[in-house]
Amino acid sequence: MAVNIKSPEEIQKMRTAGRLAAEVLDVIAPYVRPGATTGDLDRLCHEYMVGQQKTTPAPLNYAPPGYQPFPKSICTSVNHVVCHGVPGEKRLKPGDIINIDITVIKDGYHGDTSRMFYVGQPSIQAKRLCEITYECMWRGIDAVKPGGFLGDIGHAIQEHAERNGYSVVREFCGHGIGTKFHEEPQVLHYGRPGTGLLLQPGMTFTVEPMINAGKPDIRQLADGWTIVTKDHSLSAQWEHTVLVTETGHEVLTLSPGAPERGTGAPFTGM
């Protein structure tokens, strides 16, 4: 497994890209409200990225082997959609939960982050799922340090999710990131501590657990991209891009509008 160790100059570019990706989530937050369509959110994010930030939306026309080009600039995953929801005419309604996933390219480097939002007031069950998933992400991030292992990250996430009665999606995982959208290593959200790749300073990758309220099984919709829970249960996801440092880790996708750690509280639309 060839993992790219970033130089100080590359790390600085990753910091810039990460900050800009998080900024898009701050900007779109007030528009996540009943009556808005996921296509509206995509258009607003695209205009901000291209017009204001001068960044490139990485998902637009992204086409890994076996996939048709992704047709939009962001991913919008509502309720039982696990990931890769394609923005369109779906209109948000009170009580929905939505994950908005942003990846921008700036000066050749990618910043990747996602956040859950409540549309109006969520149900108690939906709120708890979003909060536990947020905690899962941070427990995984806490395990990132030089001399640690990828399995430590997955174990921390899996243990917290399953102890709270939830399941971890296995088919999708975090990933290395830099000049490419998806690099090595793959960062599983389940596993055994002390196993897998040894973490080294200069590695950058995402931690992005997808946690289901029901069973972990998923299926793909006919659009070739959207992934949903097979049992139609709710799913939630949070994502940060993380750097392994000499003494621990640095989260590259923090922003002023992100929920404070310890609250797990997504933005609530009006």
Beta-ladder partners of 176:
183, 205
Yes or no: say if 238 and 115 are a contact pair by the CB < 8 Å rule. yes
Tell me the pLDDT tens digit for each residue of 82-124.
999 999 999 999 999 999 999 999 999 999 999 999 999 999 9
DSSP label at 68? P
- Measured CA to CA, the distance from residue 27 to residue 87 in angstroms comes to 17
Token readout for 86 is: 């394609």
If you average pLDDT over residues 145-167, what whole number do you get? 98
E-only strand ranges, the chain: 56-57, 75-78, 81-83, 97-106, 109-118, 167-168, 174-176, 183-187, 204-207, 210-212, 218-220, 227-229, 235-237, 240-244, 249-251, 267-268
In 43-58, which positions are buried (b, 16+ CB within 10 angstroms) versus exposed (e)? bbbbebbeeebebebb
Mean pLDDT of 161-176: 98
Q: What is the CATH number of domain 8-268?
A: 3.90.230.10
Task: Describe the crossing of helices 8-28 and 38-47 by its angle, rounded to 10 degrees.
Answer: 130
**Average pLDDT of every residue of the chain:** 96
Q: Which pLDDT value is given to residue 7?
A: 98
Q: Which two tokens stand for residue 52?
A: 């204001």
CB 49 within 8 A of CB 56: yes
User: Which alpha helices (H) appear in the chain, and where do they start and end?
Assistant: 8-28, 38-47, 124-142, 150-163
Q: Does the structure show a pLDDT above 70 at 267?
A: no
61-90 pLDDT, tens per residue? Answer: 999 998 999 999 999 999 999 999 999 999
The tally of CA atoms less than 13 A away on the side-chain side of residue 213 is 20
Q: If you average pLDDT over residues 141-163, what whole number do you get?
A: 98
Provide, rounded to the nearest whole percent, the portion of the chain with pLDDT above 90.
94
Angle, helices 124-142/150-163, rounded to nearest 10 degrees: 160
- Report pLDDT digits (tens) over 10-44: 999 999 999 999 999 999 999 999 999 999 999 99
The band of 245, judged by pLDDT with boundaries at 50, 70 and 90, is: very high
pTM: 0.96
Delimit the domains of the chain by residue range.
Answer: 8-268
Say whether pLDDT at 263 is over 90. Answer: no
